[in-house]
């Protein structure tokens, strides 16, 4: 039985001197390593490729890139499935004896052969050379090759002022995948992956790109002290945080001065939050975490109306007689007031909460942001208390967003007067964007606004299925490490073209240093081996990592060391 690859050479003669083939007078390159030929498929379901007998199927992996050389187009595709096939179904039930080398030579690659399923992602016209969405498919028996470095560069371009190198495609270690940072920050970004897959390192790489290329200013709510000064990697080695990398372009604010000093981290301000600044809207975010009922939230609004800004302080201090006097003044049930009192008394264990402050912490952070200085807010020991993280992140974001809206509207379209693009990073994002509360929270509002007021989110989470579907649909770029929960995989791939094939790719990522990037910042879905966060990475940012070396130089002088009170 003749091999279809032999037939291809008969129909489409190969010119060995130029390593090209011609069909109907049109030449196309065969420079890449050939895999086989297209034998079937459709635009909606992808293409089937019969492998040449010489190519070992074990060398292939889902997520790898291939190129189909059509008559007038290059089709840039991803392998989404690998299969074994046979011309005669009886071979499955009665396999031949391949101990005879002659029989093995006859059967393997002819009667029994390998096939791959590939999904076209982009097409590149031979004449124009510009990647475009796929609207057609190649014909039968078009040759399929492993994508070369030149093919990948044609799609992802070169690193420049707006493109940042984040990793390499599978099996192409010398080739770079570059994110379009301006498109990255135009809409909200999601970094997803199960616990232990390196989400924090992925996030730190993305944040470093936005700071280095000056496409956005960052406000990072650093739950576990992973971003500001330094952190240990899984081998126990200390790696640099953003402040060490970028010097005065990054400021560290802390809620826990003692913990920050103990880590020998340099910080700029100690943040305190006054009870008089907390509003019922801030408590509403804690509905699930503090087990607050609707009647308790209603009681909070009533107490604020009665006691003004001092309502939490007075509620904590109120004795039984004081509360008895409230019975006739409140519409809310007395039992709800008592339950609310017990809940807010938990705040007394947080040292950053004080009776009143002399300075507005939200405005102080905004001063740094307007100077294009990114701010990392470290939580220290309070990062393990989820209610503290949610309370502070919501409290500051509501006020900063309100100030941003005010400044953008005052600018009246004058870009020179507008505040810089702000990217707010939150961890445990499903706690802020749960379907029950997402429509009422400031984070849900920001995600839906799509940069309307120059503010977007970078959300980090291991449970994307816990995030409201409407919010997920507004996330422009999704950087996803390994997920093994079917609901989480479905949530990440929601609204993505060709999600069926990508599901197999996502479920088979390595547990470390691999991710699939989808959406606004890349021209097509791409599986990458993420770049290492090491001395080579530091040097690429302009950091001298030798003993006595200095961090990257930046404009401006370090802010004075004052505390927010």
Instruction: Give me the residue spans of the domains in the chain.
Output: 4-156, 179-272+358-540, 276-349
**Which tokens belong to 22?**
């011609």
The helix or strand, by DSSP H or E, that contains position 449, with its residue range, turns out to be helix 442-449
Strand stretches in 147-225, DSSP E: 163-169, 177-180, 188-192, 217-222
The pLDDT assigned to 242 comes to 94
Q: Where are the beta strands (DSSP E) in 155-295?
A: 163-169, 177-180, 188-192, 217-222, 230-232, 238-240, 250-254, 269-270, 273-274
Mean of pLDDT values over 273-281: 90
pLDDT of 545 higher than 70: no
Statement: residue 556 has pLDDT above 50: no
Q: Helix or strand or coil: residue 516?
A: strand
CB atoms within 10 A of CB 489: 22
Predicted confidence at residue 125, as pLDDT, reads: 86
Q: Are 30 and 74 in contact (CB under 8 A)?
A: no
Stretch 251-255: mean pLDDT, rounded? 95
What is the end-to-end Cα distance of the chain in Å, rounded?
84
Six-digit token string for 464: 């994307």
pTM over the 0.75 mark: yes
Helix (H), strand (E) counts: the chain: 20, 26
| Percent above pLDDT 90 for the chain | 41
Q: CA 132, CA 121: separation in Å to the nearest integer?
A: 9
Q: What is the pLDDT of residue 123?
A: 92
Q: What percent of the chain has pLDDT over 70?
A: 90
Provide the pLDDT for residue 32. 63
Spatial contact of 74 and 57, defined as CB atoms under 8 Å apart: no
Task: Read off the DSSP letter of residue 225.
Answer: S
pLDDT in tens, 371-387: 999 999 999 999 888 88
Report residue 193's pLDDT band, with 50, 70 and 90 as the boundaries: very high
- CATH number for the region 179-272+358-540 comes to 3.40.50.300
- Indicate if the pLDDT at residue 223 is higher than 70: yes
Paired strand residues for 461: 192
Question: Helices marked H in 95-171 — which ranges?
Answer: 101-107, 149-156
- pLDDT (average), residues 410-429: 87
Looking at mean pLDDT, say which of 25-34, 372-381, 533-542 comes out highest. 372-381
How far is Cα 431 from Cα 393, in angstroms, rounded to an integer? 11
Q: What is the pLDDT of residue 320?
A: 79
User: Among 225, 159, 213, which residue's Cα sits nearest to residue 185?
Assistant: 213
The Cα–Cα gap between 412 and 243 comes to 34
- Pairing type for strands 20-23 and 475-480 reads unpaired
Q: What is the mean pLDDT of residues 176-198?
A: 92
Task: Report pLDDT digits (tens) over 431-477.
Answer: 888 887 777 789 988 988 877 889 999 999 999 999 999 899 899 99
Closest to 523 (Cα-Cα) out of 43, 46, 166, 122: 122
Question: Residue 20: what pLDDT?
Answer: 43
């Amino acid at each position: 039985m003749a091999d279809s690859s032999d037939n291809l050479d008969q129909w489409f003669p190969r010119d060995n001197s130029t390593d090209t083939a011609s069909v109907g007078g049109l030449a196309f390159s065969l420079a890449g390593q050939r895999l086989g030929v297209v034998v079937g498929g459709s635009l909606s379901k992808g293409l089937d490729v019969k492998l040449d007998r010489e190519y070992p199927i074990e060398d292939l992996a889902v997520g790898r890139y291939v190129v189909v050389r059509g008559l007038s187009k290059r089709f840039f595709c991803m392998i989404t499935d690998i299969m074994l096939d046979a011309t005669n179904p009886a071979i499955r039930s009665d396999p031949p004896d391949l101990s005879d080398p002659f029989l093995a030579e006859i059967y393997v690659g002819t009667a029994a052969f390998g096939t791959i399923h590939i999904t076209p992602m982009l097409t590149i016209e031979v004449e124009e050379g510009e990647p475009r969405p796929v609207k057609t498919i190649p014909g039968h028996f078009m040759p399929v090759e492993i994508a070369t470095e030149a093919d990948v560069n044609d799609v992802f371009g070169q690193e420049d002022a707006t493109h940042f190198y984040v990793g390499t495609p599978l099996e192409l270690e010398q080739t770079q995948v570059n994110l379009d940072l301006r498109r990255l920050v135009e809409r909200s970004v999601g970094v997803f992956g199960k616990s232990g897959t390196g989400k924090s390192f992925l996030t730190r790489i993305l944040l470093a790109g936005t700071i280095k290329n000056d496409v956005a200013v960052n406000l990072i709510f650093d739950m576990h002290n992973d971003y500001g000064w330094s952190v240990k990697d899984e081998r126990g080695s200390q790696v640099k945080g953003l402040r060490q990398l970028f010097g005065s372009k990054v400021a560290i604010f802390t809620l826990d001065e003692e913990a920050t000093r103990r880590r020998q981290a340099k910080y700029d301000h100690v943040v305190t939050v006054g009870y008089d600044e907390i509003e019922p809207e801030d408590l509403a975010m804690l509905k699930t975490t503090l087990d607050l009922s609707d009647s308790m939230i209603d009681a909070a609004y009533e107490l604020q109306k009665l006691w003004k800004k001092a309502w939490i302080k007075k509620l904590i201090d109120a004795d039984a007689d004081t509360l008895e006097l409230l019975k006739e003044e409140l519409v809310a049930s007395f039992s709800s007031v008592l339950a609310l009192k017990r809940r807010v008394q938990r705040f007394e264990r947080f040292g950053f909460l004080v009776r009143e402050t002399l300075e507005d912490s939200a405005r102080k952070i905004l001063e740094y942001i307007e100077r294009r200085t990114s701010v990392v807010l470290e939580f220290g020991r309070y990062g393990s208390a989820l209610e503290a993280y949610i309370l502070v992140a919501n409290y500051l974001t509501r006020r900063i967003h309100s100030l941003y809206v005010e400044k953008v509207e005052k600018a009246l379209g004058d870009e020179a007067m507008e505040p810089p693009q702000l990217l707010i990073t939150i961890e445990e994002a499903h706690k802020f964007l749960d379907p029950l509360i997402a429509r009422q929270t400031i984070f849900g509002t920001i995600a839906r606004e799509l940069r309307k007021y120059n503010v977007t989110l970078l959300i980090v989470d291991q449970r994307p299925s816990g995030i409201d579907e409407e919010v997920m649909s507004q996330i422009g770029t999704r950087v996803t490490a390994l997920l093994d929960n079917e609901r989480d995989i479905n949530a990440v791939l929601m609204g993505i073209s060709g999600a069926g094939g990508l599901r197999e790719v996502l479920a088979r990522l390595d547990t470390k240093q691999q991710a699939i990037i989808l959406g606004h910042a890349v021209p097509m879905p791409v599986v990458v081996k993420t770049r290492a966060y090491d001395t080579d990475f530091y040097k690429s940012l302009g950091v001298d990592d030798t003993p006595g070396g200095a961090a990257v130089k930046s404009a401006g002088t370090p802010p004075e060391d004052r505390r927010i009170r």
